């Protein structure tokens, strides 16, 4: 059973960065890299204290939805100023949009001996 699971994982879709037609910027976003910009420092200092960068970069929202999400996080205790809410909302709304393809995670081969019978 575990052999079938490993085979299925290894045959999974290639990493998003390898998808044909992906620009360098799009490929970087699909790999979960944070683009440079005014909001990057805010995200790293104020969002990543509770969330992983993977959690943030897997989201696909409209700019308005990002704005509402950031405002909601502030109400829940995120230490954001009014200026940081705007900066962060703009940054997220430019980067992780509905047009950005879903991220696919490239499967990795498990280390030798990590699965029963292998």
pLDDT at position 60 is 94
pLDDT at position 92 is 95
pLDDT at position 74 is 96
Higher pLDDT, 13 or 108: 108
Cite the residue boundaries of each domain of the chain with CATH code 1.10.760.10.
35-102
pLDDT at position 2 is 43
DSSP structural state of residue 61 = -
DSSP-based three-state secondary structure for 33:
coil
Given a contact cutoff of 8 angstroms between Cβ atoms, the answer to whether 107 and 61 are in contact is no
> In the predicted model, what is the mean pLDDT of the chain?
81
- Whether the pLDDT of residue 17 is over 50: the answer is no
pLDDT at position 118 is 65
Given a contact cutoff of 8 angstroms between Cβ atoms, the answer to whether 87 and 38 are in contact is yes
pTM given for the model: 0.68
Identify the architecture of domain 35-102 in CATH.
Answer: Orthogonal Bundle (1.10)
Tell me the C-alpha distance between 103 and 75, whole Å: 29
Rounded mean pLDDT, 93-111: 83
Pick from 85, 98, 103, 90: which is nearest to 37 by CA?
A: 90
pLDDT at position 29 is 87
Rounded mean pLDDT, 50-65: 92
């Amino acid at each position: 059973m575990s052999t079938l699971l490993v085979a299925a994982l290894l045959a999974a879709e290639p990493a998003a960065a390898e998808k044909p037609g992906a620009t360098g910027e799009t490929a970087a976003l699909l790999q979960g890299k944070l683009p440079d910009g005014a909001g990057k420092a805010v995200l790293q200092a104020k969002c990543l204290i509770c969330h992983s960068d993977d959690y943030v970069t897997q989201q696909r929202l409209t700019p308005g939805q990002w704005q509402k999400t950031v405002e909601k996080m502030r109400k829940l205790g995120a230490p954001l100023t009014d200026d940081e809410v705007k900066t962060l909302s703009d940054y997220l709304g430019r980067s992780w949009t509905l047009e950005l393809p879903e991220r696919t995670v490239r499967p990795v081969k498990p280390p030798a001996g990590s699965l029963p019978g292998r």
